[in-house]
Amino acid sequence: MEQTRSKDGTVIGFWRSGSGPPLLLVHGTTADHSRWSPISPRFEQYFTVYAMDRRGRGGSGDSPDYDIMREVEDVAAVVEAIGEPVFILSHSYGSICSLEASLLTDKVSRLVLYEPPIPTGLPQYSPGIPDRIQALVDRGRLEEGLEVFFREVVRMPEYELKAYRQLPVWNIRIQLTPTIPREMAFDRTYSFDTEKFSDFQVPTLLLLGGDSPPLFQKAIELVNSTLPNSQVVILPGQQHIAMDTAPDLFEKEVAGFLLA
């Protein structure tokens, strides 16, 4: 593991593997760098892969007052630590962090955002869900809280949830359930400022599952209409975890874009 320090002094850990131009992997909610383990060997044949732990998990530290913009600074800090132009592949909440981080450094050369949950005015979840998850966390019922998140926020179908349970990272996700409520609160503290991206020229691939719910569809439409140099690829028959459910398709679309 390698480490760098974010702007606020928090230590951020990341792992290096493979060879080639640098590719930074930024995970989403309820995960750490190991969520990429099943798919990263496919990218190691093309890239030097850097898989970071977002703050509050694994090899990274944390701070008492959570703010999504500290996460943005964390991603930028890792990019700067790599020290040369970097590709970024990011998932879900990590995609918001990565997009914003690309405004803080000039070393992002290409960007892949897989279903960033950008607020669009559509309800992201039913009222009271964060409190329900927090209550389950407080009672030590972490796995139940995790299931509420995937079923009622991500809207993951049962067949995908069943597949998720079989992955080694599932036990890590259970332990990270306490980080869910603070990340769900971002829709009250973060707004997507389209003006900031009016001159954004980083080539950006927006990935969307063909069967994903309207929440992600609307977010992709908004980001694509905002970024001057973006394109959308629909992953047929997929939802939020195509890297797990359709790895061949996922590799093809991501590597094809980054190596173009």
Residue 135 is predicted with a pLDDT of 97
pLDDT in tens, 202-257: 999 999 999 999 989 999 999 999 999 999 999 999 999 999 999 999 999 999 99
Mean of the pLDDT values across residues 49-63? 97
Amino acid at 18: G
pLDDT of residue 124: 76
CA–CA dist 195, 259 (Å, integer): 29
- Round to whole Å and give the CA distance between 42 and 184: 31
DSSP strand E in 78-179: where? 86-91, 108-114
Chain segment 159-179, per-residue pLDDT in tens: 889 988 988 889 999 999 999
**Three-point CA angle 159, 164, 168, nearest 5°:** 150
Backbone torsions φ then ψ of 164, nearest 5 degrees: -60, -40
Order of strands across the sheet with 48-52? 2-5, 11-18, 48-52, 22-26, 86-91, 108-114, 204-209, 230-235
153, amino acid identity: V
The residues that bridge with 11 in the sheet, in sequence order, are 5
Residue 118 has pLDDT above 90, yes or no: yes
What are 124-147's pLDDT values in tens digits?
788 899 999 999 999 999 999 999
**51 confidence band (pLDDT: 50, 70, 90):** very high
Query: If we measure between CA atoms, which residue out of 236, 252, 260 comes closest to residue 109?
Result: 260
Amino acid letter for position 246: A
Query: For residues 213 and 202, what is the distance between their CA atoms, to the nearest angstrom?
Result: 27
Please give the DSSP secondary-structure letter assigned to residue 55: T
pTM of the model: 0.95
pLDDT digits (tens, 9 = 90+) for 57-110: 999 999 989 999 999 999 999 999 999 999 999 999 999 999 999 999 999 999
Token couple for 24: 């930074």
CB 17 within 8 A of CB 49: yes
Cross-strand pairs, 91:
114
* Per-residue model confidence (pLDDT) at position 63: 93
pLDDT value of residue 238: 95
Return the domain boundaries, the chain: 2-123+191-258
pLDDT at residue 160 in the model: 87
Single-letter code of the amino acid located at 88? I
Class of domain 2-123+191-258: alpha beta
Q: What is the mean pLDDT of the chain?
A: 95
Residue 60, token pair as written in the block: 């990274």
Q: What is the pLDDT of residue 73?
A: 98
Residue 164 pLDDT: 85
243: amino acid identity, one letter:
M
Q: Where are the beta strands (DSSP E) in 57-203?
A: 86-91, 108-114
